[in-house]
Structure 1
Amino acid sequence: MRRGRVRLRTGVAALLVAALIAPAAGEAAPRRGDDADVAGPRLNAYARGRLAESDGALQDAAAAFRAAMSGDPSSVDVARRGYRQAVMAGDMALALKSAKILDKAGELPRDGVVLLLIDALQRRRADDARALTNRLEAEENLAYLGPFMRSWVSVIDGPYDPPVIPVDRPWAVFAVRYLEEQLMLQRLARGDVAGARESLNVARERKTVFLPQQRITLANRFATLGDKASALALLTADDGHDYAAERARIESGTFATPDALTPLAGLAALLERLAADLSGDQPDIAVLSIIRLASLADPVDPDIRLAVARTALSLGYLDTAYAQAGMIAPGSVLWIDAQGVRMTALMRQERTTDAVAIARQIAAQPGAGVAERRLLANVLLQSDDYAGAADVLARTIALPGGTQDALLMLQYGAALEQAGRWDAARPALEKALALAPENPVVLNHLGYALADRGQELPRAIMLLEKANKIRPDEPALVDSLGWAYFRAGQADRALPLLEKAVIAEPGNPELNEHLGDVLMVLGRVFEARQAWAAARAVVGDDAVSRARIEAKLQPGVTPVIKAPPLAPTL
């Protein structure tokens, strides 16, 4: 549940993409029985595509629709299905071919204009790019791209015209979020290091989160222009990644000279930002489409590739997640993150044994350090081998600097706790808190663990109130505070917090179970059973939790009101 960016699921951001995957205004909607229009030699390929689509096999679906389209290159029926599958699969050729057919028929989905813009920029057709930018604004969907892309085209086609956000447009407040980053990129592209430095400083003041590979690339750009100080300032390890090698290259002057910045890079950055802001904890098809468009604009960017993998993983496209993460090369600052996605994809395909074996191989490689061992521990935790994870983490902490790593100590304490070793877990959690007293994840885990056991309840509540102040409206943190109030005998105070958490994250079984427990204690039996039934509906294959919830739902039985602690999100 941890994110470094503000969610924009509602309000202006939602307005910008409300019709993203819907037909454009005035165009025909797909008709009931459209499949019946597909006949002839392409029928079998079309049927295979529909089956693959229903199975979530993106690459297979795209391949089948590509074959169907080859049988009838002008089929609108095939293009309707082929377009969306091609975008989600990252198949530029099929997506573009489908988009042109749909555009001619007046049925191009809204994001199709962005695809056509990517094509125009790839072909360096400045006039076409300007016309498509104007079309984005006229159709008022993803219109925030307009000022930026018009300016980017001027970077390559002159004269340069900086982006100006019209304050009277409904999307202006949204576009302003991206202004300084885009100005910085354009100034770097034009060699204006002083201006780029100014934009970087403003972006940092506005808490802009730069992604790992983006930090390295930006640092190399500043260093190329002679600004070593700005380059090194970007390469701080405050995001959990190790930039020591990149810093050394900057210091010695052996850094890689980056490719020239282009309008495609600017567009990719804008789309990646939008996808991240919209994704929250449960991305949807629109988010996958946006981040895939970013990858079509910049096919080799590791940050975007990892974002595609993570989004696909969240949506259950496990083969795509595994394949995309596998494209991130060893030696990349994102390689361990990518392996985490791959291991999770394997486990969700019921290949836990394979995931554990691969993670053990990675941790056993010569030169493996904290990151590789933490990956193994995470895999063991996900496979419910808490004792094994605690053993790996104990050996990891013994490495130089291990006892000074707050998140490592937190993970170790969490593993011990889940292994049933609270007496050993608490000192590790207290150490994590001493190292990171302002970290809401650390505050939440220790506070919840104390409250759930009825220990030091005033302190537990204080820790959880502090976590909620640092990161307000986070469902897991709100739930933890509500549960602490409940354990302290303040059910009336707990109830609105637990209701708020469930409204924010209705698909979380722990939150629903907690709400049911509080409602039952307050005598609201019918509502309590509704909350437990909701928890049962989304509990998945967790047999222990399912059995506990089922016991609470038994008629004529007074339920035991006690739920397990939430696992920490690292």
Structure 2
Amino acid sequence: MKPVLTSAAFAALVCLTTPVMAADKAYTSAYGDFLVGRLAAAQGDTETAARALMAAADADPANAALRERAFLAAVLSGDMSFARSHIPTNGGRLSRTVAAQVQAIALIREGKGKAAAAIIEASQKAGAGDRATLLLKPLSYAAARQWDNAIDPTLESQLSAGTTPNRDRLVLFLQAANQARLLEMKGRHAEAEAIFKVICQPGPASVLFGPYYGAFLEGRGRKDEARKLYTDILGVSEDRLVRQRLEGLDAKDYRKPKSPDVRLILADSLFLSGTLYASEQQSEMALATLRLAQYAAPETAAATPTLDRTRLLAGQVLMRMKDMQAAQTEWASIEPDSPFYREAQVRAAWSLKEAGDLDGAEALFTELSTADPKDIGLTVERARLLWQKDDTAGALKLIEAYQAAYGDADFGWETWFTVAVLYQASGDWDKAKAAAQKGLTLQPDSSELLNLLGYGLIERKENVTEGMTMIRKALEKTPRSGAIMDSLGWGYYQQGQYVEALEWIEKAIAAEPADPEITDHLGDVYHKLGRTIEARYQWARVLTLEADDKQKAAVQAKLDTVTVPEAKAVAEAETAPTAKPKIPVKTPAKTRK
């Protein structure tokens, strides 16, 4: 969990900034707020940082650098009212570019498209060439009803040429999608469809822009074509809005979607631009662009899905920026009737889990699972939470109750992996093995399942040769996994090949130096090689790591038995239960055995 700005921290800052003379009051107040803002920003608290920096800027209006910081902080927090009233006058290129975008969107909201277009033109002449500026330019002309400037007659030929670099081509496709929708607004349907057909060819682009074409087809009364398009999109990627449109085609209260307006087109395109920034790991640019999308969206019911989709992604970006509180606020703003509500709640629960609030996460997942008891994913998440809380029996009870009620036809390989881990932890190896084998029928190359099953066969000396084959296959798929390296080393250990075992387990400990089970195994190998001092050192290290009680007891028994002067056999300790596997937060990719 991120650090919090405590009262002690505030007190320290106040002491640092207490004025010595009355004349210094304004300066020290501004400086104090500035320090609070810097501290909050360092802790990932964008909201507190923004409030403090904005207060500092108001207290010291002549400070241009502070004004610029406060402006950018306001944009990231979504306070466009403050941002617009504190436009930096001599800021850097980034702040000048974003300032022009904020001003232009504000003017479009006020119906002053001509003034918005002038600002974007000036920004572009000053060197702004980012995605948001390129997307804003024709839309600001459209808002000004200057259609000759808004519509680029060369755009279709640029699309057909296909000579632009991939990154520029993405921007070109965004511009093309906007132009097709503007042409639809103007009633120039043939021209709009010509562009839609180019950008909605089967492939990734159809997932992004196909929904706009589908709405266009519906608007023309061509429901069957829209249905096929939506079905094709869902065959590539699940999209809640597309699913909703597809299911709504046959509803009794079906209504054609309305033609888009400039602000909705702008909000949609800024959202997609923010998505690209997020995929490029440019978190601050992604968040700023998503805030602009929220600001641009019209206050209409038609814009609600766009807003909710933007809030969902903004929450994800804020989590990447380590601001869980702001992320939770974004997700909480999505209403229960939204198609994005469930996903927002799931992400909120995941974030609580990652922050260590297992009870809060469990409450959210339980609420969601109660509302949708047939969703195996929600049941598995609840089971994983109980596992993390050391309630293996409770986790298995949930899974078994689901199987009794609904069967296991919906189980994917990850679910079977979770089931295998739980049965292994409960001591029922036969059921664990059966679950792992079922998972492998669905995903034969799963390194997680191969490692779990292979290690189990090796550890129990049930079939060491087969287990080693599985482990080698798993290592081919995930060559940097310390857990799998350790499994291979342990296979050599069980066969008495201690030199080979040492090679792999030392590689494993280099990859995962704080893993208690690998550390324990390293001690065992050192012991077999007669390196007793090193063995005792590794076993002692296990007691300082996050090992469970059984593993600590087994290690302590080794330390009590094996002394430096007289090394004795530790067969009992070597056959002690191993550490329980770890179930990951979202996928089993990082799981130990």
Same fold (TM over 0.5): yes
Aligned to 2:249, the other structure's residue is in SS state: helix
Find out whether 1:273 has 2:276 as its counterpart: yes
- Whether the 8 Å CA contact 2:68–2:95 is kept in 1: the answer is no
Structure 1: any 5+ residue segments left out of the alignment? 1-32, 279-285
TM-score by length of 2: 0.65
- Whether the 8 Å CA contact 1:292–1:308 is kept in 2: the answer is no
Pair 1:318–1:178, CA change in 2 (3 A): same
| Displacement of 1:230 | 0.8
Find out whether 1:59 has 2:52 as its counterpart: no
| Displacement of 1:448 | 1.4
| Displacement of 1:269 | 0.7
Structure 2: any 5+ residue segments left out of the alignment? 1-15, 109-115, 185-191, 296-305, 493-499, 588-593
Find out whether 1:405 has 2:411 as its counterpart: yes
Aligned residue number for residue 117 of structure 2: 126
TM-score by length of 1: 0.67
Aligned residue number for residue 82 of structure 2: 94
Distance in 2, Cα, partners of 1:35 & 1:529: 56
Find out whether 1:337 has 2:343 as its counterpart: yes
- Whether the 8 Å CA contact 1:34–1:77 is kept in 2: the answer is no
- Whether the 8 Å CA contact 1:305–1:325 is kept in 2: the answer is yes
Aligned to 1:128, the other structure's residue is in SS state: helix
CA deviation map 1:95-135 (0-9, x unaligned): 4555x32xx22445x36624532542453422322443455
Match of 1:290 among 286, 294, 297: 286
Aligned residue number for residue 193 of structure 2: 193
Pair 1:380–1:115, CA change in 2 (3 A): farther
| Displacement of 1:172 | 3.7
| Displacement of 1:326 | 1.1
Amino acid at match of 1:297: A
Amino acid at match of 1:359: F
Distance in 2, Cα, partners of 1:366 & 1:217: 30
| Displacement of 1:565 | 4.2
CA deviation map 1:65-102 (0-9, x unaligned): 3333333334335335424533442333334555x32x
Match of 2:358 among 341, 344, 352: 352
Amino acid at match of 1:116: A
RMSD: 5.3
Aligned to 1:301, the other structure's residue is in SS state: helix
CA deviation map 1:484-519 (0-9, x unaligned): 5434436699589869x95xxx9x955x98599779
Aligned to 1:567, the other structure's residue is in SS state: coil
- Whether the 8 Å CA contact 1:377–1:393 is kept in 2: the answer is yes
Q: Which has the higher mean CA deviation after the structures are superposed, 86-95 or 217-226?
A: 217-226
| Displacement of 1:378 | 4.5
| Displacement of 1:449 | 0.3
Pair 1:154–1:509, CA change in 2 (3 A): farther
Give the total of aligned pairs: 498
Pair 1:269–1:404, CA change in 2 (3 A): same
| Displacement of 1:481 | 4.9
Amino acid at match of 1:267: L
- Whether the 8 Å CA contact 1:275–1:287 is kept in 2: the answer is yes
- Whether the 8 Å CA contact 2:382–2:395 is kept in 1: the answer is yes
- Whether the 8 Å CA contact 2:135–2:174 is kept in 1: the answer is no
Aligned residue number for residue 162 of structure 1: 155
Q: Percent identity at matched positions?
A: 17
Pair 1:414–1:495, CA change in 2 (3 A): closer
Aligned residue number for residue 583 of structure 2: 567
Match of 1:377 among 383, 392, 397: 383
Find out whether 1:486 has 2:489 as its counterpart: yes
Match of 2:90 among 85, 102, 105: 105
CA deviation map 1:222-262 (0-9, x unaligned): 54453321122223486597976543213448267264452
- Whether the 8 Å CA contact 2:505–2:521 is kept in 1: the answer is no
- Whether the 8 Å CA contact 1:414–1:425 is kept in 2: the answer is yes
Distance in 1, Cα, partners of 2:317 & 2:538: 29
Find out whether 1:308 has 2:314 as its counterpart: yes
Pair 1:319–1:536, CA change in 2 (3 A): farther
- Whether the 8 Å CA contact 1:49–1:62 is kept in 2: the answer is yes
Distance in 1, Cα, partners of 2:294 & 2:50: 20
Distance in 2, Cα, partners of 1:80 & 1:126: 23
Distance in 2, Cα, partners of 1:245 & 1:291: 27
Find out whether 1:423 has 2:430 as its counterpart: yes
Find out whether 1:326 has 2:325 as its counterpart: no
Q: How does 1:235-250 map to 2 (within 5 A)?
A: 235-236=234-235, 239=238, 246-250=245-249
- Whether the 8 Å CA contact 1:134–1:146 is kept in 2: the answer is no
Pair 1:367–1:449, CA change in 2 (3 A): closer
Distance in 1, Cα, partners of 2:81 & 2:550: 47
